[in-house]
Amino acid sequence: MFEAERIAGTDFEPRWLREYLRPPFRKYEFTTPMSPAHAARILQENVEPPRKWGWPTSSKRGYFEGKVAGSRFKFHRVAGYQNSFLPIIEGSFRRDAVGTLVTVNMRLVWLVVPIWIGIIVFLAWSSVSVDSVVAGPFGVRVVVIAMTLFIYLVATVPFAIESRIAMKRLLDLFRSGSAPLSL
Protein backbone atom coordinates (compact mmCIF):
# COMPACT_ATOMS: atom_id res chain seq x y z
CA MET A 1 0.00 0.00 0.00
CA PHE A 2 2.69 2.44 1.02
CA GLU A 3 6.32 2.10 0.09
CA ALA A 4 8.72 1.70 2.98
CA GLU A 5 10.86 4.69 3.86
CA ARG A 6 14.45 3.53 4.22
CA ILE A 7 16.27 4.94 7.24
CA ALA A 8 20.04 5.05 6.89
CA GLY A 9 22.55 6.31 9.41
CA THR A 10 21.84 7.30 12.97
CA ASP A 11 19.73 10.41 12.45
CA PHE A 12 16.01 10.19 11.92
CA GLU A 13 15.08 13.62 10.59
CA PRO A 14 11.89 13.50 8.54
CA ARG A 15 10.70 16.36 6.39
CA TRP A 16 8.47 18.20 8.85
CA LEU A 17 5.72 19.61 6.62
CA ARG A 18 5.43 16.39 4.65
CA GLU A 19 5.22 14.34 7.84
CA TYR A 20 2.32 16.38 9.21
CA LEU A 21 0.33 16.24 5.96
CA ARG A 22 0.79 12.53 5.21
CA PRO A 23 -2.08 10.16 6.10
CA PRO A 24 -1.55 8.46 9.46
CA PHE A 25 0.18 5.34 8.14
CA ARG A 26 3.94 4.84 8.06
CA LYS A 27 6.29 2.09 6.92
CA TYR A 28 10.00 2.20 7.72
CA GLU A 29 12.91 -0.13 7.08
CA PHE A 30 16.34 0.00 8.64
CA THR A 31 19.21 -2.36 9.31
CA THR A 32 20.90 -3.20 12.55
CA PRO A 33 24.14 -5.14 13.02
CA MET A 34 22.45 -7.49 15.54
CA SER A 35 21.17 -10.94 14.73
CA PRO A 36 17.37 -11.31 14.51
CA ALA A 37 17.32 -13.26 17.80
CA HIS A 38 19.36 -10.60 19.60
CA ALA A 39 17.17 -7.81 18.18
CA ALA A 40 14.04 -9.64 19.36
CA ARG A 41 15.58 -10.09 22.82
CA ILE A 42 16.48 -6.36 23.07
CA LEU A 43 12.96 -5.41 22.03
CA GLN A 44 11.40 -7.92 24.45
CA GLU A 45 13.30 -6.29 27.32
CA ASN A 46 11.62 -2.97 26.51
CA VAL A 47 8.09 -4.23 25.81
CA GLU A 48 5.80 -4.97 28.72
CA PRO A 49 2.87 -7.37 28.39
CA PRO A 50 -0.46 -5.85 27.27
CA ARG A 51 -2.71 -4.53 30.00
CA LYS A 52 -5.92 -6.26 30.98
CA TRP A 53 -8.80 -3.81 31.39
CA GLY A 54 -6.43 -0.89 31.83
CA TRP A 55 -4.55 -2.41 34.78
CA PRO A 56 -0.82 -3.13 34.48
CA THR A 57 -0.15 -6.87 34.10
CA SER A 58 3.44 -6.57 35.17
CA SER A 59 5.57 -4.51 37.52
CA LYS A 60 7.99 -3.98 34.65
CA ARG A 61 7.58 -0.51 33.16
CA GLY A 62 8.77 -0.81 29.60
CA TYR A 63 8.66 1.94 27.03
CA PHE A 64 6.30 -0.09 24.86
CA GLU A 65 3.31 -2.31 25.61
CA GLY A 66 2.37 -5.32 23.50
CA LYS A 67 3.92 -8.55 22.25
CA VAL A 68 7.17 -9.73 20.71
CA ALA A 69 6.94 -13.25 19.34
CA GLY A 70 9.87 -14.71 17.45
CA SER A 71 10.66 -12.47 14.51
CA ARG A 72 7.42 -10.43 14.73
CA PHE A 73 6.19 -7.73 17.07
CA LYS A 74 3.09 -5.64 17.73
CA PHE A 75 2.91 -2.95 20.37
CA HIS A 76 2.28 0.71 21.10
CA ARG A 77 4.19 3.32 23.05
CA VAL A 78 3.34 3.70 26.73
CA ALA A 79 2.33 7.33 27.19
CA GLY A 80 1.49 8.99 30.48
CA TYR A 81 -1.57 10.57 28.89
CA GLN A 82 -4.63 9.56 26.89
CA ASN A 83 -4.09 9.77 23.12
CA SER A 84 -6.29 8.11 20.49
CA PHE A 85 -3.63 8.80 17.87
CA LEU A 86 -0.82 6.69 19.35
CA PRO A 87 0.43 4.49 16.53
CA ILE A 88 0.07 0.75 16.65
CA ILE A 89 3.54 -0.50 15.74
CA GLU A 90 3.82 -3.81 13.90
CA GLY A 91 6.88 -5.26 12.31
CA SER A 92 9.31 -8.04 11.73
CA PHE A 93 12.98 -8.95 11.74
CA ARG A 94 14.62 -10.52 8.71
CA ARG A 95 18.21 -11.67 8.23
CA ASP A 96 20.10 -9.38 5.84
CA ALA A 97 23.62 -9.45 4.41
CA VAL A 98 24.97 -6.97 6.99
CA GLY A 99 22.81 -7.93 9.97
CA THR A 100 19.05 -7.69 10.43
CA LEU A 101 16.52 -5.79 8.36
CA VAL A 102 13.80 -4.38 10.61
CA THR A 103 10.49 -3.50 8.95
CA VAL A 104 8.16 -1.28 10.98
CA ASN A 105 4.54 -0.46 10.08
CA MET A 106 2.72 2.23 12.05
CA ARG A 107 -1.01 2.83 11.86
CA LEU A 108 -3.90 4.24 13.84
CA VAL A 109 -6.19 2.04 15.92
CA TRP A 110 -8.68 0.56 13.42
CA LEU A 111 -11.69 1.98 15.31
CA VAL A 112 -10.43 5.55 14.89
CA VAL A 113 -9.87 5.28 11.11
CA PRO A 114 -13.49 4.86 9.91
CA ILE A 115 -14.77 7.53 12.28
CA TRP A 116 -12.07 9.97 11.14
CA ILE A 117 -12.62 9.20 7.44
CA GLY A 118 -16.40 9.38 7.90
CA ILE A 119 -16.22 12.87 9.39
CA ILE A 120 -13.89 14.05 6.61
CA VAL A 121 -16.10 12.59 3.87
CA PHE A 122 -19.25 14.09 5.42
CA LEU A 123 -17.70 17.56 5.71
CA ALA A 124 -16.12 17.43 2.25
CA TRP A 125 -19.38 16.28 0.66
CA SER A 126 -21.31 18.97 2.52
CA SER A 127 -18.98 21.64 1.19
CA VAL A 128 -19.37 20.62 -2.47
CA SER A 129 -22.95 19.35 -2.56
CA VAL A 130 -25.30 21.74 -4.38
CA ASP A 131 -28.27 21.24 -2.07
CA SER A 132 -26.29 20.94 1.17
CA VAL A 133 -28.22 21.57 4.37
CA VAL A 134 -24.98 22.13 6.29
CA ALA A 135 -23.34 24.64 3.95
CA GLY A 136 -25.48 27.08 2.02
CA PRO A 137 -23.76 30.35 1.11
CA PHE A 138 -20.18 30.47 -0.19
CA GLY A 139 -18.78 31.80 3.12
CA VAL A 140 -20.24 28.86 5.03
CA ARG A 141 -18.82 26.43 2.47
CA VAL A 142 -15.35 27.91 2.97
CA VAL A 143 -15.74 27.41 6.73
CA VAL A 144 -16.80 23.78 6.17
CA ILE A 145 -13.76 23.21 3.94
CA ALA A 146 -11.56 24.73 6.68
CA MET A 147 -13.22 22.40 9.22
CA THR A 148 -12.47 19.44 6.93
CA LEU A 149 -8.81 20.41 6.78
CA PHE A 150 -8.74 20.91 10.55
CA ILE A 151 -10.24 17.45 11.19
CA TYR A 152 -7.68 15.94 8.81
CA LEU A 153 -4.85 17.64 10.70
CA VAL A 154 -6.31 16.64 14.09
CA ALA A 155 -5.31 13.06 13.30
CA THR A 156 -2.21 13.50 11.14
CA VAL A 157 -0.26 15.93 13.33
CA PRO A 158 -0.50 14.00 16.65
CA PHE A 159 0.14 10.74 14.79
CA ALA A 160 3.26 12.22 13.15
CA ILE A 161 4.55 13.45 16.51
CA GLU A 162 3.86 10.15 18.28
CA SER A 163 5.30 8.03 15.47
CA ARG A 164 8.47 10.14 15.48
CA ILE A 165 8.87 9.67 19.26
CA ALA A 166 8.36 5.91 18.97
CA MET A 167 10.64 5.57 15.94
CA LYS A 168 13.48 7.48 17.59
CA ARG A 169 13.23 5.15 20.59
CA LEU A 170 13.26 2.06 18.35
CA LEU A 171 16.29 3.34 16.47
CA ASP A 172 18.08 4.02 19.76
CA LEU A 173 17.35 0.46 20.93
CA PHE A 174 18.51 -1.24 17.76
CA ARG A 175 21.54 0.96 17.06
CA SER A 176 22.99 0.76 20.55
CA GLY A 177 22.22 -2.89 21.25
CA SER A 178 20.63 -2.13 24.62
CA ALA A 179 18.15 0.20 26.21
CA PRO A 180 19.35 3.82 26.43
CA LEU A 181 19.23 5.44 29.83
CA SER A 182 17.32 8.52 28.71
CA LEU A 183 15.66 10.03 25.70
Domain positions in the chain: 5-112+149-176
Q: Is the pLDDT of residue 179 over 50?
A: no
- Let me know how long the chain is: 183
In DSSP notation, the chain reads: --PPEE--SS-----HHHHHHS-SEEEEEEEESS-HHHHHHHHHHTEEPPPBTTB-S-S---SEEEEEETTEEEEEE--SS--TTPPEEEEEEEEETTEEEEEEEEE--TTHHHHHHHHHHHHHHHHH-TT-SS--SHHHHHHHHHHHHHHHHHHHHHHHHHHHHHHHHHHHHHHHSS--S--
Q: Is the pLDDT of residue 9 over 80?
A: no
The Cα 125–Cα 112 span in angstroms is 20
Question: How would you class 63 by CB atoms within 10 Å of its CB: exposed for 0-12, middle for 13-18, buried for 19 or more?
Answer: buried
Residues 6+ apart with CB under 8 A from 153: 20
Fold adopted by 5-112+149-176? Alpha-D-Glucose-1,6-Bisphosphate; Chain A, domain 4 (3.30.530)
Q: Is the pLDDT of residue 130 over 80?
A: no
- The confidence score (pLDDT) of residue 148 equals 92
User: How high is the mean pLDDT of the chain?
Assistant: 81
Q: Is the pLDDT of residue 65 over 80?
A: yes
- The confidence score (pLDDT) of residue 180 equals 43
Per-residue pLDDT band for 73 (boundaries 50, 70, 90) equals very high
pLDDT digits (tens, 9 = 90+) for 137-162: 778 888 888 999 999 999 999 999 89
| 6-10, 35-39, 88-92: which is most confident | 88-92
